[in-house]
Amino acid sequence: MLREPRGYPPVCCNLVVPAKHPDAAAGYIIMEQTEYPMMSGGNTISVATALLETGMIPMHEPVSEFFLEAPAGLIGIKADCKDGKVTQVTFRNVPAFAAYLDTVIDVPHLGKVTVDVGWGGMFYVIADVRQFKHLKLAPEYGREITRVSALILKAAQDQLPVEHPDYPGIGITVSQLSGPTDNPHADWRNTVTVQNAPIDFENPATWTGALDRCACGTGTCAKMATLYAKGRLKLDDTFRHEGMLGVVYTGHLVEEVRIGNRTGVVPTISGRSWIYGFNTYVLDPSDPFPNGFTVGDIW
């Protein structure tokens, strides 16, 4: 579904399934290019919007409230609705926490880079883009953003072991570059890169990935958790996180909790999604590429 000819590198797919938890209206399985994430914010906002606007879950105006069941567990949904449309979705995420703060790693081809690592539903390695004087968080820098992000991700995977008490075996899988913004409606800017395939320091063709087109919900949660751990964000503060396209998600930390032996925080994220089409996918039994394909020009 995500490979050509039916998809392309940044595409995600969500499979809606019956929920196992009795309090959930529906379950959903999140599919990305190289993993099945425990949680994804942009996908959650899109799934909630699609379920309400297609009538799979009854819409109640002005607010529809229900639970969805992600692989990570129950996700609380509050959807603002008007005239049959979802105008904003706010979800209450699983707890987030900081795993590393201001940690220096050795990144081949880049040198020493200072990073944070946070869990927001996935483990993110987060680096301030101002460490790279030639780089800006703008679409026209996309190719260089993916190159730098891939190298940082691989180095973090090699040098910074992580562990979540509830989800054993999950490591750092996503990289995030962040920095200040000149948007008066945002507090910070970020660009998240999802890898397309294994990264090899000796093979420049693998220093790539797909840029998140939205402001990244779980990435925002991870960023807020690291800011909280540094004392730069407090409970109930508003944090407006801007993505590469200028889309802004609004986050709040609503509760401090314990995650194993760590201090965690429960985040909420607000954003919006739009249905842009209804598609029928088919697979011809004579198709020579039933599993799709990836080609090195864009993958």
The residue annotated as part of the active site, out of 12, 40, 46, 221, is 40
Q: Which residue has the tokens 């864009």?
A: 298
CB under 8 Å to 58, separation ≥6 — which residues? 64
295 close to 7: Cβ distance less than 8 angstroms: no
Cα-Cα-Cα-Cα dihedral sign, residues 2, 191, 247, 296: negative
188 close to 179: Cβ distance less than 8 angstroms: yes
Q: Which residue has the tokens 């320091």?
A: 201
The torsion of the CA quartet 107, 109, 114, 119, rounded to 10 degrees, works out to: -50
Task: Spell 85-97 as b/e; 16+ CB within 10 A means b.
Answer: ebebbbbbbbbbb
Would you state the structure tokens that stand for residue 113, as one six-digit string? 């880079």
DSSP classification of residue 204: G
Antiparallel, parallel or unpaired: β 123-128 and 172-179? parallel
Residue 102 Ramachandran class (φ > 0 left, ψ -120 to 50 alpha, else beta)? left
DSSP classification of residue 155: H
Q: Is 245 helix (H, G, I), strand (E, B) or coil?
A: coil
Is residue 216 annotated as part of the catalytic site, yes or no?
yes
Q: In 3D, which of 238, 250, 245, 214 has the Cα closest to residue 42? A: 214
The torsion of the CA quartet 89, 90, 93, 97, rounded to 10 degrees, works out to: 120
The residue annotated as part of the active site, out of 216, 221, 270, 273, is 216
Which residues form the catalytic set?
40, 216
